[in-house]
Structure 1
Amino acid sequence: MDESLKHLILGGFSSQKIKLMLNGQKCVFTIVNVDIQPEPIFSNREKFICLSPITVTTIKIDENGKRKQHFLNYMIPEERNHFIDNLKKNLINKYETINNTKYQNSNYPFNFNFDINYITKRMGNITKLMEFKNKIKIKAIEAPFSIEADPELIKIGYECGWGEKNSAGFGCVEQI
């Protein structure tokens, strides 16, 4: 990070206050210190834990012939490959948008798996149904996962979020 930008960010956030409503009560937090974490270096195989759930969708046609958003569920075997394919397409779209170029590095395999030991401990219960603004219900999955892919796509997932609705806080992860 450029030094002048670093100082601008650190100076802009230090000695500030954040006001939040928690359980109906106004809470004020004073920022004492701001640290910038070193940028991680990614290989083609990484493991992450979810700090917020991952959501991936597709479009289905309902019984009335209308297009409807469908939240893919990794835990349903018939949907698992579609979940992984759409996750990969989403990362490629983000890569192409950020880099303003066509993604060309398709010689890497793409393997994505949620942690089976974690799933077993949770008795398969890793899905969440969350109510979003305007009472929209979003199905998402939260569990540690491993990924084998182009390190550039892994970096995009880490920096931008995995899956969809990242601007709403979905898909935030931490490297294990």
Structure 2
Amino acid sequence: MRALIKFEVRSKALLPYNYQHALTALIYRGLGVESAKLATFLHDIGFRKGKKTFKFFTFSPLSFTNYKTTKEGIIVFPGTASFTVSSPLPEFIDYLTSGLWALRNFKIITLPVSIIEIAAIPLRNFTDEELFTLKSPLVLAIKSQEKATPTYLSYVEDKALYKEKLLNNLKNKYLVYYGCEPRIDYFDFAFDERHFQTKLPTRLITYKDQKIRGLCAPFKIKTNPELISLGYYAGFGEKNSMGFGFVE
């Protein structure tokens, strides 16, 4: 399920570019109003199978009707702002929307807002081949004991490894969510490389003390429609609950 959250921006404010952690915190806060149990479970534990843990939600970047970008951040003027929250868990969206309505007035870091609308987005049906546009970076990484920080994968440098990691991520999500292995007769994934002609569409986002790099471009995916659906609602790639891997 997905829900579009729309705010009134009450006054002018300077919002830092790296605001994703504040939206994650807002989501947990909204959930906690209606279900402290679910909010605590997702924040502290998550859905697990062995060493694999998933929160099964993601969200889009904020959009604004009246703003200006500067070196220091985004100057947001009075108007409206919105973002979309996505999860395959029906109760997640229900609890979140009720909780956010209860909060109604709050700040997103420095930005004072009031909720004016929450709209459920109709469920989608998927085929075995879909074209998506990433609204937030797709992140895939390899961890090693030798390095303190993960190595973020580059699609251009090793497409086979990138596709393998993406498929494994989807398979693990499916296994944790449904409790069984997915049936996969074929899998293919490709970014639209016309977006790579001038420069790579990479983005570096600072999330609290983490510097996270990912790719943000349209892509085509061919596989089991259930895997595609799970990626659409839970997010593609890693770090989805931090706002990565959100597609339209």
Do both proteins adopt the same fold according to a TM-score greater than 0.5, normalized to the shorter chain?
A: yes
Name the structure 1 match of 2:128: 44
Structure 2 residues without counterparts, runs of 5 or longer: 2-90
- Bigger CA drift: 143-152 or 27-36? 27-36
Aligned to 1:58: 142
Say which one has the larger Rg. Answer: 1
Report the Cα distance in structure 2 between the residues aligned to 1:71 and 1:5, rounded to whole angstroms: 30
Match for 1:168: what amino acid? M
> How far 1:129 sits from its partner (Å)?
2.5
CA RMSD of aligned residues (A): 2.6
Per-residue CA deviation, residues 133-153 of structure 1 (Å, 9 max, x unaligned), is 22x322211111111111011
1:59-97 CA distance string (max 9 Å, x none): 457xxxx25632110021xx2110110000000100110
Q: Deviations 1:99-155 (Å, cap 9, x if unpaired)?
A: 11222x121x211111122222xx132112223322x32221111111111101101
Q: What is residue 43 of structure 2 aligned with on the other side?
A: none
Say whether the 8 Å CA contact 1:75–1:124 is kept in structure 2.
no
The DSSP-based 3-state class of the residue aligned with 1:33 is strand
Equivalent residues of 2:184, 2:223 under 8 A apart: no
> Secondary structure of the equivalent of 1:32?
strand
- Report the equivalent of 1:20: 108
C-alpha contact 1:48 1:173 (8 A) present in aligned 2: yes
SS at match of 2:236: coil
* Alignment map for 1:1-176 (pairs within 5 Å): 11-14=98-101, 16-21=104-109, 26-60=110-144, 66=146, 69-76=150-157, 79-103=158-182, 105-107=183-185, 109-120=186-197, 123-134=198-209, 136-174=210-248
* Alpha-carbon distance change, 7 to 141 in structure 1, aligned in 2, over 3 angstroms: closer
Quote how far apart the aligned CAs of 1:157 are.
Answer: 0.6
Count of residue pairs brought into register by the alignment: 158
Deviations 1:3-42 (A, max 9, x none): x998876554447123112xxxx32211122110101111
Distance in 2 of aligned mates of 1:88 and 1:18: 39
Pick the structure with more strand per residue.
Answer: 2
TM normalised by structure 1 equals 0.78
Q: 1:171 is paired with a residue of what secondary structure?
A: coil
TM-score by length of 2: 0.57
